[in-house]
């Protein structure tokens, strides 16, 4: 069993850390709000007061935080950052959804500390994290991937090494952009059907049986029709990911469809939907 540190134990990280703990690994956790660690500590995890302290003695250090800024602080803070506490030869596993530019920069910083970085963003939300069914979209070298594989197998149902550092971020942003564009279109269609007095449930049932429909689209429609906006994937995070995707594209002109869908989620933020599920943007077109 491995000594593992887990940094960021929010909705996703807490479930992932618990799976590692249940698999018999020795897990030390850190979170910006310390009280979030209480449940994991009660189940056997150790609690650290800083990322640096959590990383001391760890063979593998996971991070699951909100964005580039939070990731930078967790790893590189000069007094409390995790890299300062990691031993040479340890592995940093960054599972946050980040920009490719920052991932590559972090890889350089890790190498300067004698640490190997594996970028490990995931496809899946809270239910998949809880049931260890996450899909890993990995960037880095094959040797580091093989070292981390036993731990990742505890957390996910499939592991995909897609290229060097930065490729994982691009794959994750592409996955989320494709989902977000579908959600924006479905929300607009919901409004069109409502205004036309059509039976939206029946129409989407028929569309869902055609080759153009995806499993994700059918799931999103079901949530929209049920008015279920519990935050599996909050609007504010999709809006952030669209922003990173557009940064990677270089301009809105280079990705006009993504830019238009980004605008829908920006509107959702303005309307106070930031913490609701991405399906809540249907309200922008149906009320």
DSSP 126-195: HHHHHTT-EEEEEES-HHHHHHHHHHHHHHEEEEEEEESTTHHHHHHHHHHHHHHHHHHHHHHHHHHHHH
Q: How far apart are CA 54 and CA 48, in angstroms?
A: 5
Radius of gyration of the chain (CA): 20
Residue 131: count of CB within 10 angstroms of its CB: 12
- Helix (H), strand (E) at residue 246: helix 235-249
Contact call for residues 239 and 266 (beta carbons, < 8 A):
yes
- In our burial notation (b when 16+ CB lie closer than 10 A, e otherwise), range 17-33 reads bbbbbebebbbbbbbee
User: 52, 56, 88, 172: which one is catalytic?
Assistant: 172
Which residues have C-beta within 8 Å of that of residue 36, sequence separation ≥ 6?
9, 10, 14
Residue 253 CA to residue 286 CA, distance in Å, equals 29
Question: What sign results for the dihedral spanned by CA atoms 206, 210, 213, 216?
Answer: positive
- The verdict on whether 43 is a catalytic residue reads no
Question: E-assigned strands of 14-141?
Answer: 26-30, 46-47, 60-63, 91-94, 116-119, 122-123, 134-139
* Length, in residues, of the chain: 287
Catalytic residue set: 172
């Amino acid at each position: 069993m491995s000594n593992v540190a887990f940094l960021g134990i929010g909705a996703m990280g807490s479930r992932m850390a618990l799976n590692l703990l249940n698999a018999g690994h020795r897990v030390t956790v850190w979170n910006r709000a310390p009280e979030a660690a209480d449940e994991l500590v009660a189940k056997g995890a150790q609690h650290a007061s800083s990322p640096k302290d959590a990383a001391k003695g760890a063979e593998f250090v996971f991070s699951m935080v909100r964005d580039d800024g939070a990731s930078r602080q967790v790893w590189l803070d000069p007094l409390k950052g995790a890299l300062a506490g990691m031993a040479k030869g340890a592995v940093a596993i960054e599972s946050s959804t980040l920009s490719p530019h920052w991932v590559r920069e972090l890889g350089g910083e890790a190498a300067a500390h004698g640490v190997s970085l594996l970028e490990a963003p995931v496809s899946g939300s809270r239910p998949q994290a809880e049931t260890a069914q996450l899909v890993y979209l990995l960037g880095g070298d094959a040797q580091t991937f093989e070292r981390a594989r036993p731990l990742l197998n505890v957390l996910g149902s499939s592991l995909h090494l897609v290229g060097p550092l930065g490729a994982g971020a691009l794959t994750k942003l592409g996955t989320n952009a494709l989902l977000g564009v579908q959600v924006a279109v479905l929300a607009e269609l919901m409004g069109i059907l409502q205004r036309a007095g059509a039976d939206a449930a029946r129409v989407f049932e028929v569309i869902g049986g055609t080759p153009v429909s995806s499993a994700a689209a059918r799931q999103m429609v079901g949530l929209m029709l049920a008015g279920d906006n519990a935050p599996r994937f909050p609007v504010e995070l999709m809006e952030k990911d669209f922003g990173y995707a557009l940064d990677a594209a270089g301009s809105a002109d280079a990705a006009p469809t993504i830019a238009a869908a980004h605008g829908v989620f920006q509107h959702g933020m303005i309307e106070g939907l930031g913490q609701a599920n991405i399906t809540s943007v249907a309200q922008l077109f149906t009320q």
